[in-house]
Amino acid sequence: MPLLCEIITQQRTVFREEVDSVNLPSTEGRLGVLPNHMVMLTTLGYGEVVVRRGGEEEYFAIGGGFAEILPDRVTLLADSAEQAEEIDVERAQQARDRAEQAMREGIPEDSERYAQIEASLRRAQIRIDISRRRGSGRRRAARVSASTPAAGGFAAPSDQEEEGE
């Protein structure tokens, strides 16, 4: 029985396909989801989402949000999400450099601005890490052993979100 996986941001539907398993970063740790999983609602952390289908894996960078898990569906409502192959590493490095520069200039008295800078830095670093680790992000054969659960993964913010930071 396949599992419908949807990864959605305010801007677009990043991914919507039937899959065998999903591994995602919740704020409580990594979470592996197979068909017939118990019903659950959880918050998403920053990290990598790995979607496995037919022996292949697809990778996404995710930056916060919520996950609704049903026995036949996983819906990720993400603050930011991006397929690994969509990541523009140069742009992510520039966003990281801007956030690091803002941090070096001193902690803003405005705690909301500080949280925005910190989130920007985390998103940029995750995008860079996933892009480097996953190469082009193209689908790769999954390495599966009978005793190993699905690998994990996550998605990152779009370049449009990085431009304003």
For the domain made up of 3-87+134-158, give the CATH fold: ATP Synthase; domain 1 (2.60.15)
Q: For residue 137, which of 77, 11, 48 has the smallest C-alpha distance?
A: 48
> CA torsion angle for 53, 54, 56, 60 (degrees, to 10)?
-10
Q: What is the mean pLDDT of residues 7-31?
A: 95
* Contact present, 39 and 69 (Cβ < 8 Å): yes
**Helix extents (H) in 58-108:** 89-104
Name the more confident of 163 and 15. Answer: 15
Q: What is the pTM of this model?
A: 0.69
Please report the pLDDT score of residue 143 as a whole number: 41
| C-alpha dist (Å) from residue 150 to 59, 82, 87 | 12, 20, 23
Asked if residue 89 has pLDDT above 50, the reply is yes
List CB contacts of 73: < 8 A, sequence separation 6 or more. 3, 4, 5, 6
Task: Give the pLDDT band of residue 135 (cuts 50, 70, 90).
Answer: low
Please report the pLDDT score of residue 70 as a whole number: 97
Q: What is the mean pLDDT of residues 83-95?
A: 79
